[in-house]
Amino acid sequence: MNNKPRLELRAAALAALLESDTARKCAAIAAMQADMPLDTQANYPVAAGIPGRPEKPELVSPGKVGRRAMNTVAGRAVLIHALAHIEMNAINLAADILWRFPGLPQQFYLDWLRVLQEEAYHFQLLEAHLLTLGFAYGDFPAHNSLWEMAEKTTDDLLARLALVPRTLEARGLDATPAVRAKLAQAGDLAGAEILGIILRDEIGHVAIGNYWYKSLCAQSGLDVVTTYAALALRYEAPVLRGPFNLEARRAAGFDEAELQALQRVDL
């Protein structure tokens, strides 16, 4: 009989975040369960080495990431690698929000556990597909823009919710259909199918971000649209440009006032 105490859920998320080996990170995430002990009030000290990441890929500025020509295997591999790196960042972001912010309802942590496990699944799908193209994760340089926003918002949960799931990850709702179509047109039907899975799940992830952002705004009597604009300005979030996937954004919980504000900025 195994009497070893079960790891607390948020502590498990922190341990997964600190893991640098991608296979062990994904395995640790897969082992996490919704019925694990959960201490919503625990204040864990910030550990050195957040986030854990492998030696490769080399992190460079966005302009130095390789070209993604669809007419060659290598070009498609650069694209798949970039998408895999986005998903690895998304893993770290979900693990970070799960452990870092105490005092939220139990459902908050269970929601982000779902996101964390689905992001790990997406990474593994892309990593496996990359191998079929003759390359591996780490073979190409990548940029770190997603995680940089996480670092800016370590002490501000409302900003984290506004500017990561609702801004940076929501951009994927706009961009993914076109990328999926290009992969299919190039004959990479397996890659296109993976992007279909990712788009489906990411609508749910952005919806979770929207739900908790709006819940916190409501608790504090804050207007959703004007508060978002103020946070985007304060933390220097990228200005979003269209075209926007309005159908997916509506499905992810953006209301008409938010979509109108988004399109006014794009003028």
pLDDT tens digits in sequence order for the chain, 267 residues long: 445 567 899 999 999 999 999 999 999 999 999 999 999 999 999 888 999 999 999 988 777 666 677 889 999 999 999 999 999 999 999 999 999 999 999 999 999 999 999 999 999 999 999 999 999 999 999 988 889 999 999 999 999 999 999 999 999 999 999 999 999 999 999 999 999 999 999 999 999 999 999 999 999 999 999 999 999 999 999 888 889 999 999 999 999 999 998 887 664
CATH number of 9-33+63-265: 1.20.1260
pLDDT at 39 (0 to 100): 97
pLDDT at 242 (0 to 100): 85
Q: How far is CA 39 from CA 9, 25, 51, 181, 205, in A?
A: 8, 22, 22, 44, 23
In contact, 195 and 136? CB cutoff 8 Å: no
pLDDT at 265 (0 to 100): 64
For residue 144, the tally of other CB atoms under 10 A from its CB is 17
CA distance 37 to 201: 26
Residues forming a β-bridge with 142:
59
214-228 residues labelled b (16+ CB within 10 A) or e (exposed): bebbeeeebebeebb
């959960």: which residue's tokens? 38
pLDDT at 1 (0 to 100): 42
CA distance 211 to 205: 10
pLDDT at 105 (0 to 100): 98
Instruction: Tell me the angle at which helices 9-18 and 106-132 cross, rounded to the nearest 10 degrees.
Output: 30
Question: If we measure between CA atoms, which residue out of 97, 96, 127 comes closest to residue 22?
Answer: 127
Question: If we measure between CA atoms, which residue out of 183, 173, 181, 195 comes closest to residue 246?
Answer: 173
User: Domain ranges in the chain?
Assistant: 9-33+63-265
List of residues 6+ apart from 143 with CB closer than 8 A: 59, 60, 61, 62, 64, 65, 85
